Amino acid sequence: MTDRLLRETFEQLADDGPPPPGLARAALAGARRRRRAGFAAGVGVAVCAALGAGVAVNGGGGNQVASGPGGSVVAAYSGIRDPAVEDPSPAFDYSLLLDRETGEYERVPYRSVMPSPDGDQVLVGEGDNSVVHPTRVGIMDRDSKTVRWMPTGERDGFPGNAGDGVWSPDGKRIAFRLVPKTGAVTVVVVDVATLRTDVLPVPDFRQGDIRLAWTPDSAGFAITTATLADESAPYEAGEVQFYDLAGRLWRSFDVSDPKLCAAPAFSADGRLALSGPLGQPGDLSIAVADPATGAVRDRFDVTGPAELVGWIGEDRLLVRTFEGRPGGVVIETVDLAGRVIKSLTPPDGVFAQQIYVGSAAGLPDSAADLTF
Amino acid sequence: MDADLEAEFSDFVAARSHALFRTALALTGHRQQAEDLLQTVLIKGARHWPRIRSGAPEAYLRTALYRQRTSWWRSLRRRPEVATDTVPETAVTGDATADVDLHLALRQALARLAPKHRAVLVLRYFEDRPDAEIAEILGCAESTVRSQAVRALARLRQLAPELTLDATKEDASR
């Protein structure tokens, strides 16, 4: 199928004559009627009840800080549409953060939240890139709730969305994939203490699933390069490339199977998981590979379609499945033979764009149902 | 909303409704559905006009068109593919009418595509938006945009195999 054909067809469809007359008048009348009717009361979803009912998830795959042993928990649900707000702008999305003392989720007025590895700070984002609701990204202190906002307007495309950032395992830095309107896609590293930004002179990170995966020592990050023969072909993995914090490529190895094109995922002790394919029907293939050479040590498939989210300890992985798989959308922990250890069934009620998983250590007994 | 604001909204609609309607047509492929979609979104626009007028109201309404059409995450789980009561005809390639037939086959395949998949293709191929902007408009992750686009194209190929043959022939003639 050619791009040309799609473009021409959409143009033909769009050329179906002018809109009907009287649109503004009808819209104004409709708005008056809606105002009189008022919003339906009580539409708001009780946060805990909704969580009890379940969550759909997306994103964050492969770019999360690895959770340690001792059980894990969803530390944040990010980007939830509030059904009580008619305005479709993402500026009105909210998020849920797990309070480790109470074991309950609290609602925070940010469209995006990403807790630091120790949970003391949270990368937050708000706005819809409009004049009324400009996009802002900042770091919130968990106790005081105060936010230090990152400077905007200094670099095209930065800071973008909070969801583009990834905490380093030591919690000292956040790496953002910078996607300007024009020019190369690159990386910006923000020092959490000072908010100082460094643009790394890396090659154009435009191709493939270029999500950043910090190495466990926080000294740099890795990506999986991938190419696309054409728009309808699947991604084909090339190399796993390791960069230091000066943007220098210091190591790379070929990926043994072009199917394993998703972002790399490191455990806390440095084990490496590669996965793929991306966005294709069929099973998710996962390879546990030597982080120095790429030699595959374990290989197994998860009944797909699914996506690798990250490591849980050193001998389990977290995956989420997609629509179309028997059983629907679920979050699963699997062992390194692909056996499902535990499954968290996504419920109805809260539709989070992203989830962030952290350690369940220290949670009260009342939160046992939330852990996996 | 006072009379001045209503007049301002009316002027805006008069100036920009054609462009918005084109997007609605590309999204729905059906004139009546496009009119309904645009009308629904304009009502929201009228309600929020005092707030959005000083920003980028067209961008706001365009985003609302996509959001309204897809109800992105809800549709991801709840809405099945759009079913039609007619079986698409198979296009015949290799003669003078091949290109017309391919367009017809593609229109029919698009009509059977899930709204979320179609929205990604409209944003990519009709509006030429980069994936980052598509993610912003649809309120999802960029990786999701890519995966949905791949799935949408794969589904189109499945629905209209002749499109794949056309691509092969084009590649061969280069």
pLDDT tens per residue across span A214-268: 999 999 999 998 887 665 677 889 999 999 999 899 999 999 999 998 889 999 8
Same domain, B18 and B52: yes
CATH number of the domain encompassing residue B23: 1.10.1740
Residue A186 in 3-state DSSP?
strand
**How many domains does chain B contain in total?**
2
**Do B31 and A16 form a contact (C-beta atoms < 8 A)?**
yes
Quick: pLDDT tens for A288-327. Answer: 999 999 999 999 998 877 888 888 888 899 887 765 555 5
* pLDDT (average), residues B98-110: 82
Out of A6, A58, A328, the one facing B140 most closely (by C-beta) is A58
- A224/B32: higher pLDDT: A224
Here the tokens at position A275 are 């996965």
Would you state the pLDDT for residue A232? Answer: 61
Quick: pLDDT tens for A8-33. Answer: 999 999 988 888 888 888 888 878 76
Would you state the pLDDT for residue A347? Answer: 46
In a domain, B90, yes or no: no
Whether A131 and B55 lie within 8 Å, measured CB to CB: yes
Same domain, B65 and B15: yes
- What's the whole-model pTM score? 0.60
**Do B101 and B91 form a contact (C-beta atoms < 8 A)?**
yes
Residue in chain B lying closest to A351 (CA): B73
Residue A137 in 3-state DSSP?
strand
Same domain, B103 and B164: yes
Same domain, B69 and B122: no
Mean pLDDT of chain A: 78
In a domain, B117, yes or no: yes
Residue A136 in 3-state DSSP?
strand
Residue in chain B lying closest to A281 (CA): B151
Of A179-183, B43-47, B80-84, minimum mean pLDDT range: B80-84
Best of A1, A64, A111 to disrupt the B interface (most B CBs within 10 Å) is A1
Same domain, B101 and B135: yes
- Can you tell me the distance from the alpha carbon of A180 to that of A156, in angstroms, rounded to the nearest whole number? 5
Would you state the pLDDT for residue A156? Answer: 67
Give percent of chain B above pLDDT 70. Answer: 77
pLDDT grade, residue B51 (50/70/90)?
confident
Domain assignment of residue B113, given as a range: 97-173
What is the end-to-end Cα distance of chain A in Å, rounded? 43
**Do A95 and A115 form a contact (C-beta atoms < 8 A)?**
no
Quick: pLDDT tens for A64-82. Answer: 445 544 577 888 888 777 7
Last residue of a domain, one of B59, B74, B89: B74
- Can you tell me the distance from the alpha carbon of A31 to that of A43, in angstroms, rounded to the nearest whole number? 20
Whether B126 and A11 lie within 8 Å, measured CB to CB: yes
Out of A88, A232, A281, the one facing B153 most closely (by C-beta) is A232
Measured between beta carbons, the chain A residues lying within 8 angstroms of B151 are 279-281
- Can you tell me the distance from the alpha carbon of A45 to that of A106, in angstroms, rounded to the nearest whole number? 13
CATH number of the domain encompassing residue B111: 1.10.10.10
Would you state the pLDDT for residue A292? Answer: 92
Pairing of strands A340-344, A350-359: unpaired
In a domain, B81, yes or no: no
Same domain, B70 and B112: no
**Do A359 and A67 form a contact (C-beta atoms < 8 A)?**
yes
Same domain, B110 and B60: no
Whether B26 and A10 lie within 8 Å, measured CB to CB: yes
Out of A3, A18, A232, the one facing B154 most closely (by C-beta) is A232
Q: Does B91 touch chain A (CB under 8 A)?
A: no
Place of tokens 């309070």: A99
The yes-or-no verdict on residue B149 having pLDDT over 70 is yes
Give percent of chain A above pLDDT 90. Answer: 28
The yes-or-no verdict on residue A48 having pLDDT over 80 is no
The yes-or-no verdict on residue B165 having pLDDT over 70 is no
Would you state the pLDDT for residue A4? Answer: 86
Same domain, B62 and B122: no
Mean pLDDT of chain B: 77
Whether A161 and B136 lie within 8 Å, measured CB to CB: yes
In a domain, B88, yes or no: no
pLDDT grade, residue A206 (50/70/90)?
low
**Do A218 and A168 form a contact (C-beta atoms < 8 A)?**
yes
